[in-house]
Amino acid sequence: MHIPIDRATSLWKNQRFRRLWVSQLSAVAATYALSVAAIVAVAERTLSVTQTGLVILSSITPAFLGSLVSGMLPLWISRRLIAFLGFAATALLLVAVPHMPGVGWVITLMAIASFCSDLTMPISWNACADIGQRYTATVAAAMNMLGN
């Protein structure tokens, strides 16, 4: 489906772009939240240096695995379903984090949120090509800059 985008048309007027941007923003926030949690835990001296390293590793490893899995999933499942489930799971996990009784639970939920978040990343970039067509680079750049 071709959606014409000319220079006078704002990307913000495109409903598909707005949805993509909000999803991307929430996914990126989930990914970076775990690193911020590690810094806060160190500042409050609730985690040792080793534990802090494990918190940071728990954000990187699931994200890496989520990206790998998401490259194969669209062969069997629709991209729309993967994106919806990934973004919904990320949001639900992030809402649950403040209610967890201990640091171990927080780390676990944040790691799963990171996996779900990165599960949606390749699909988000592919959506840029769907929305932008020949302006894919512009749409991708706008999503990346506004989402981060």
Q: What are 104-145's pLDDT values in tens digits?
A: 787 788 788 888 888 887 777 777 778 778 877 777 777 777
Assess contact for 81 and 26: CB atoms under 8 A.
no
Residue 42 has pLDDT above 70, yes or no: no
| pLDDT tens digits for range 58-114 | 767 777 777 778 777 878 888 888 888 888 898 888 888 888 887 778 778 878 888
Q: What is the DSSP string of 95-114?
A: HHGGG-SSHHHHHHHHHHHH
Model pLDDT, residue 71: 74
Nearest to 70 by CA among 19, 118, 31, 21: 118
Q: Give the pLDDT score at 126.
A: 79
pTM over 0.85: no
